[in-house]
A and B are shown apart, each in its own frame.
Chain A
Amino acid sequence: MTVKWLMHFQPNQGTTLTSQVMAEACAVAESFPGVSRDGRWRSSMTFYRAVPRDQSLPAPSDLPRDLIGISLHDLPNEYLFVMRSQRLILRAHSSVQTVMDKLQSYKGRFFINFEGLQYKWGDFKLRIGKCLYNPNEALRGIVMEVEYLPLSSIDKSQRVMEEFYEIWREAVASKLLAGQFINTEVNFVEYGLGDSYTPQHTAVLYGMCVVQVIASSNKNQ
């Protein structure tokens, strides 16, 4: 799998996030020469909470109370689970969602959809999307995924991605957007993940990023 970075948009203090910002971010991407639009993308995330079998007994402490389930746009046949407290990631077939529904051991509390536009720029792929809170489709944030196709090693691609991030931030600042993109920093080693990039890395990135998006949107409201 090729290396990805995930950023979210941090609006300036006192401003609110609107769809206009999404359009402006896409315009920044399209302003680079050689960028071509490459369709749309869609991922979704579900926050599960454990449903205790027997209400009177305390929940066993080794079972996670919260679970994040992620369906990624580039892996339609798979479903990933992230347990942030235990730092565990599970990769399963997408039909596990039906199993979850039937078992009812965990119930989906709320849902987030990511959807937006995809761009190809030489060896880079950019995905800019809205972070929408289901079911009322409220805009919670804007995320951007950057993928560098030639490399799969996180270590070896670090400098390339850093420089790209700088170029992107400068472009965003020069177009006077009301905020900036912040990169999601994750210590993959804590999750037991190695240097070779995998979908598990993406799942962890999204898990962390969404937490930051929700925190910043709560702060601004």
Chain B
Amino acid sequence: MEPQQQAGSGDAPPKQVAQAMDRLGRAARLIAEIRLGADRILEALLVSNENPRLSEKAAELTLGEEDAMRRHFLDLRTVGKQLEDSGVLSGALRSRGNSWGLHMPLVCPDGAVVAYAWKRQLAGQAGASAVDRARLALKAFSDQKRRIFPQLEDDQLNRSNNDTIKFPPTKRPRLSHRPTQSPNIDSTEQKPMLADILKSIQTEAPGVTISTYQRLEWSKRAESLASTMNDSSLEQPKEQILSNLSASFNEVAVIELVASGVFRVLVSLHPAGSTDPDAVAFFSPNEGGSYLHSRGMSVHHVFKHVTEYADKALQYFQSSDPNKALSHLLSWICSHQSLFTKNCSKCSKLLAMDKSLALLLPPVHRPYLLNSKDHDQDFATAYHIGCSSYDV
């Protein structure tokens, strides 16, 4: 990848915006390359399955693709970091556009890229583009599925079409179909149901209020939180909208966990109604607004750092125990009820000055490594950023 100059703060906003747009374009191309690579690997697997003679060639191809994919992922990570640093991915940094009437391009939660933040004001545009985009993506995936897995029944296809719209994969492309299994196996036999997971977490952590929402429902609630926060003349009603458990768990896309006075955490599920967590973010209980979503970022430093750490925890849970990733994640989140009261397990203090960040923070790193037996997993320790050992 050719070396890129960083648009420093000394550069004029148009250059920053142009660079950001350029990087977004590159990111999109890399994502397309990754999809193609996944496609090729699938084809190679199929071919070698049908034609054992060609399996050696298929193996070679797969290895080659794997290398290419790894390179693409690394490049994507670099571009992502650059974008993050320049403030493109976080809606809360919208004010970065300091002059010239320009703002950094904004990547909306639905994946649409808006070059100029004011464009969002045009009613329905972002929503309409998201719907179109999703429809196109669904069509592309259905075509791909029909082409690569023709042995799957047509009614399976129709059933998935009627579900809530599946958005294009975001963080990492995953194989969501297993050709070796019969398509009629219910997902309940492999994984616990969402309702059961939530019930067990509720009994495990009674201090945390858990609510579930469909995607649009959550957007409305996030906006309404902003207005209740501004009305400080009223005492905050305790436990607003208690346990809004959706009647149909098939459409739940957002889980909200609130520990009164401590945090509000949002976990998004993808696809909606499944038990696969997709993203997680921590916020202060007094924050509200449209930036409150599982890919958003709190304005407070303490919650920013916990969210960053939570991303790592989520990836760890997904890779080490995908069937129980949601349970582990929710347990881990609930252990943060003592975020502002539990001392660091290393230095025994609550607040510590982080020299590199020049901030006073409580222990925001709670180790997430799982034991080999999954009982007694209590995520009980906490460390300051400077006190936590590497890689934990």
Q: What residues of chain A have their CB less than 8 Å away from a CB belonging to chain B?
A: 1-2, 32-34, 91, 121-124, 149-153, 155-157, 159-160, 163-164, 167, 194-196, 198-199
- Cα A159 to Cα B342 in complex, Å, equals 9
**With A and B bound together, what is the CA distance between A183 and B261 in angstroms?**
23
- Set B235, B298, B340: member contacting A157, Cβ < 8 A: B340
Decide if B247 is an interface residue (CB 8 Å cutoff): no
Output the nearest chain A residue to B355 by Cβ-Cβ distance.
A33
Which of B86-94, B195-203, B299-307, B367-375 contacts the other chain?
B299-307
The 7 closest A-B pairs by CB, nearest first: A34-B358, A153-B261, A122-B359, A156-B261, A150-B300, A33-B358, A163-B351
In angstroms, Cα B353 to Cα A149, docked, is: 17
Is the C-beta of B284 less than 8 angstroms from some C-beta in chain A? yes
**Residue contact A123 to B261, C-beta cutoff 8 Å:** no
Asked if B77 CB lies within 8 Å of chain A CBs, one says no
Contacts of B362 in A (CB 8 A): 160
B342 to A: closest C-beta gap in Å? 9
* Shortest Cβ distance from residue A4 to the other chain B in the assembled complex, whole angstroms: 13
Contacts of A157 in B (CB 8 A): 340
- 16 A-B residue pairs with Cβ-Cβ distance under 8 Å, sorted by A, are A1-B232, A34-B358, A122-B301, A122-B360, A123-B359, A150-B286, A151-B262, A153-B262, A155-B261, A159-B350, A160-B350, A167-B353, A167-B360, A194-B235, A196-B235, A199-B232
Tell me, in angstroms, the Cα distance from A107 to B301 when the chains sit together: 46
Q: Which residues of B contact A199 (CB under 8 A)?
A: 232
Which B residues touch A2, using CB under 8 A?
A: 286
Q: Kindly state the separation between the CA atoms of A163 and B340 in the bound complex, as whole angstroms.
A: 11
Task: Enumerate chain B residues within 8 angstroms of A164, measured Cβ to Cβ.
Answer: 351, 360
Interface size for B (C-beta < 8 A) is 28
Tell me how far the C-beta of A146 lies from the nearest C-beta in chain B, rounded to whole angstroms: 11
In the assembled complex, the CB of B24 is this many whole angstroms from the nearest CB of chain A, namely 31
Query: What chain B residues lie within 8 Å of A33 (beta carbons)?
Result: 353, 355, 358
Contact A123-B233, Cβ < 8 Å, known A33-B355, A159-B341? no
> Which one of A149, A151, A195, A198 has the highest number of Cβ atoms from chain B below 10 Å of its Cβ?
A151
A122 to B357 CA separation, bound complex (whole angstroms): 9
> B300 contacts which of A123, A156, A167 (Cβ < 8 Å)?
A123
B residues sitting closer than 8 Å to A (CB atoms) are 232-233, 235-236, 260-262, 284-286, 298, 300-303, 340-341, 349-351, 353, 355, 357-362
- List B contacts of A153 (CB < 8 A): 260-262, 285
> Closest residue to A166 on the B side, CB-wise?
B351
Q: Give every chain B residue within 8 A of A155 (Cβ-Cβ).
A: 261
B359: A residues at CB distance < 8 A: 34, 121-123
In the docked arrangement, what's the CA distance between A207 and B23, Å? 56
How far apart are B51's CB and chain A's nearest CB, in angstroms? Answer: 60
> Which A residues are CB-close (under 8 A) to B261?
151-153, 155-156, 195-196
Known: A157-B340, A159-B340, A163-B351. A124 touches B360 (CB 8 A): yes
Residues of A contacting B286 in the complex (Cβ-Cβ under 8 angstroms): 2, 150-152
Give bound CA distance, A164 to B360, whole Å: 9
Closest to B299 in A: A149
Least CB distance from A90 to B in Å reads: 12
Q: State how many angstroms separate the Cβ of B233 from the closest Cβ of chain A.
A: 7
B357 CB contacts on chain A under 8 angstroms: 34, 122
Cα A34 to Cα B262 with chains together (Å): 25
Give the Cβ gap from A15 to chain B, nearest Cβ, in Å.
Answer: 30
With A123-B302, A123-B359, A163-B351 in contact, is A156–B341 under 8 Å at CB? yes
Q: Tell whether, in the assembled complex, residue B284 and residue A150 are in contact, meaning their CB atoms are under 8 Å apart.
A: yes
Q: Which residues on B sit within 8 Å (CB–CB) of A198?
A: 232, 235
- A156 contacts B360, CB within 8 Å? no
Complex alpha-carbon distance, A75 and B269, angstroms: 41
Question: Measured between C-beta atoms, what is the minimum distance from A150 to chain B in Å?
Answer: 4
Instruction: Say yes or no: B350 contacts A122, CB within 8 Å.
Output: no
Query: Quick one: given A34-B357, A160-B350, A163-B349, are A149 and B262 in contact (CB under 8 Å)?
Result: no
Cα(A152)–Cα(B238), bound, Å: 13
Chain B residues in 8 Å Cβ range of A163: 349-351
A89, chain B: closest CB distance, angstroms:
13
> A194 vs B285: C-alpha distance in the bound complex, in angstroms?
17
Residues of A within 8 A of B349 (CB): 163
Distance in Å: Cβ of A42 to nearest Cβ of chain B: 21
Q: Is B350 within 8 A of A150, CB to CB?
A: no
Partner of B351, one of A91, A149, A160, A196: A160
Closest B residue, CB atoms, query A156: B261
- Complex CA gap A87/B269 in Å reads 50
The verdict on A121 contacting B360 (CB below 8 Å), with A151-B284, A153-B260 known, is yes
Residues on A with C-beta less than 8 A from B262 are: 151, 153, 156
Q: A34-B358, A123-B359, A163-B351 in contact; A152/B285 too (CB < 8 A)?
A: yes
B235 pairs with A122, CB closer than 8 A: no
What chain A residues lie within 8 Å of B235 (beta carbons)? Answer: 194, 196, 198
Partner of A151 from B301, B340, B353, B361 at Cβ < 8 Å: B340
Q: B301 contacts A91, CB within 8 Å?
A: no
Taking the closest CB of chain B, its distance from the CB of A174, in whole angstroms, is: 14
